[in-house]
Structure 1
Amino acid sequence: MAARRRCRLNRPSSYWLLFVCACVASNNSLAISWVFNVQWYSTMAALLHYSIFMPGRLLKYAPLGFLVVSLVGSVTKELVTLPPFYFTSKRNFLNMLFVKFAWGWTLVLLLPFISIVCYHVHRSVTVILQRLSALLVGTAVWYFFTWLFMFIEESTGDCYVSEVNTTLSGYSSRSDCKKNGLFWSGFDISGHSFLLPYCALMIWEETAVIEKINESFKSQSLRHIVIILFSLLNLLALIWCLMFLCTSFYYHDIPQKIIGTVFGMLSWYGTYLYWYQKPVSPGHPQIIFTRRHKVK
């Protein structure tokens, strides 16, 4: 019986071995190159290019989608007790490894992507620095709203013995309350509802230029790096969307999530759709790219 199980486990790898041997025997170079294709990332990019998940298309529907999900999720949470699953736990690996450092992950991947794309299109240090200043603006937006949400929670809250015990403790600050293992209750605007949509929209705004420049790279190695960064950024945006969905249906109260989401939408709109359209700004990636090609 054990021998039979071992045979079953080895069968898939045996099939691959037989297939490769048959390719060698028949001198079928096309099949061999398909099996050992080191250009897999180019194929992946081609699939992404014709996919509905392209950033340019998502930007048309995502802002309204985020607001609808936040509203529907908030109302559903109040009316129905949904069964928990792995990704609704605060201890799930996506939350612990990615969401807790959401702005850091977004910054680390956007920094090389914007730099390489600007270098490829403009070959100008000034334009590269101008576009990278959008990351400084985004960092300022993240920092300000993080501070604002914590300030509101502390200003409107009190320290209690526990989440279910309404007995007030003697602590008047949120930090002292938390340090002593007590429960602080205030108006806690959802940071996830603010930051995750903002990061996703920022990623799609910056990566939407891939549709125009994908075939214009003279250096294939540079093109492959951009495609890999593009894929990782959109995978990151997918994680932000998944965790935003979980937050909307399982955490916080209705006004806390709606306000957080609205602030995220306003931050994106105020920067990319308003300020970045002006001459004195970090510049919208699509506008700067268009101007460069008009000059050419």
Structure 2
Amino acid sequence: MNLKTENSSNGFTPDINMEKLHKVAAELIQPGKFILWLLDAALEFVTNLLAGLLGSSLIRRHFHLMLSGLVLFGPLLSFWVSKFNIFANSNHYLYRKFLKSTWGWTCIFLGSFILLLSFSAHHSLCLSLRHLSRIGVVGLLWQGCQRLLTMLEDAAGSCYEPVSPPQDAQSSASAGLPLLLHEDWTKASCLKANMVWRGYEVSQDVLILCLCCLLLVEELSVFRPHLAQVKLPHRSQGAPLRFIFLLCVALLALWMFLLLCLLAHFPKFPAQQLGGALGYLGWRGLYQGWYRQRVSWACPGSPGDGLYASTDTNKEPE
């Protein structure tokens, strides 16, 4: 009894227990390390593949043409899609959670990507903020377009109240019964009162979806030269940056899918085509015009300017 007490006091038993504990922990960590290595390898492979695709000259030169063709001919799909499809319901989860906050999701994910990319290339906060300012300019453009289009819609349209009882308002409007004119009402107040609004409009949903798709492709295309630069010694590729890039690509796919659903299930000609044209003009004026000027306090520059040794891929003619 005294010997056991002496051995315990000398610390032999805790040493043996700690050895066993280390062995058990090592056995448990090995499968975890293998899983993490497998996930990291999959992430690296997928992001390299997507970066090469989005950074290719084919996508950069012709993506806006593909998007224009989708907006022009997408409404023709309404002849083949079923009206009982789950995406034909305007209250679908994707429409309610993503469509009305398209710019917010794009700003969060793409802003995080630009910030991480620019800061990992050059640890300069001023340079990161300069590149991040492009997103702020697009946000101001979107807010201005929203207000301007709302004002034009209110000025070009009129609100009508059907003569028949409110419960038959939709049927009476379609049947062509007499309507009472409300000249001083706006579109928002008219629709809120369940009345009939008639006038010209531009689809703001198609506008922001097209603008965000073009914006994502333009900003994500610089990830390809970034991966070429980080292969140099003493540079880290960074799993967080790759993960954010993957989320941005998933967001781009979601916006393309929602745009296709809107065109196929809720065709509005020419409101959607006008919205797509305005989104294209906004991208063209900023990324193919202003941002290609010489970098200064009044111009944030193109994506990738000042980040790498060579940015010739950003200067390809569109």
- TM-score, with normalisation over the residues of structure 2? 0.73
Q: CA deviation at 1:66?
A: 1.2
- 1:185 is matched with 198
Q: Deviation per CA, 1:235-260, whole angstroms, max 9, x where unpaired? A: 11111000111122222422211111
Report the 3-state secondary structure (helix = DSSP H, G, I; strand = E; otherwise coil) of the residue aligned with 2:197.
Answer: strand
> 1 CA distance for matches of 2:311 and 2:202?
43
> 2 CA distance for matches of 1:190 and 1:282?
29
Q: Would the alpha carbon gap of residues 53 and 264 (structure 1) be closer, same or farther in structure 2, given more than 3 Å must change? A: farther
Q: Deviation per CA, 1:2-33, whole angstroms, max 9, x where unpaired? A: xxxxxxxxxxxxxxxxxxxxxxxxx9x99x57
Report the 3-state secondary structure (helix = DSSP H, G, I; strand = E; otherwise coil) of the residue aligned with 1:160.
Answer: strand
Deviates more, 1:283-292 or 1:226-235: 283-292
The code of the aligned residue for 1:47 comes to: V
Unaligned runs of 5+ in 1: 1-26
Q: CA deviation at 1:53?
A: 8.0
Q: Would the alpha carbon gap of residues 171 and 35 (structure 1) be closer, same or farther in structure 2, given more than 3 Å must change? A: farther
**What is the aligned counterpart of 2:261 among 222, 232, 246?**
246
Q: Does 1:277 align with 2:289?
A: no
Q: CA deviation at 1:34?
A: 8.9
> 2 CA distance for matches of 1:228 and 1:44?
7
- 1:72 is matched with 73
Does the CA-based 8 Å contact 2:158-2:182 persist in structure 1? no
Q: CA deviation at 1:197?
A: 1.6
Q: Does 1:229 align with 2:244?
A: yes
> 1 CA distance for matches of 2:50 and 2:311?
26
> 2 CA distance for matches of 1:259 and 1:155?
17
Q: Following superposition, which runs of at least 4 residues in structure 1 exceed 6 angstroms of deviation?
A: none
Report the 3-state secondary structure (helix = DSSP H, G, I; strand = E; otherwise coil) of the residue aligned with 1:282.
Answer: coil
- 1:3 is matched with none
Does the CA-based 8 Å contact 1:157-1:186 persist in structure 2? yes
After superposition, residues 79-94 of structure 1 pair within 5 angstroms as 80=79, 82-84=81-83, 85-94=85-94
After superposition, residues 159-170 of structure 1 pair within 5 angstroms as 159-161=159-161, 162-164=169-171, 165=173, 167-170=179-182
Larger Rg: 2
Does the CA-based 8 Å contact 1:122-1:292 persist in structure 2? no
After superposition, residues 14-93 of structure 1 pair within 5 angstroms as 32=31, 36-37=35-36, 40-51=39-50, 54-57=53-56, 58-77=59-78, 80=79, 82-84=81-83, 85-93=85-93
- 1:286 is matched with 304
> 1 CA distance for matches of 2:91 and 2:182?
30
Q: For the aligned residues, what is the CA RMSD?
A: 2.8
- TM-score, with normalisation over the residues of structure 1? 0.78
Does the CA-based 8 Å contact 1:48-1:54 persist in structure 2? no
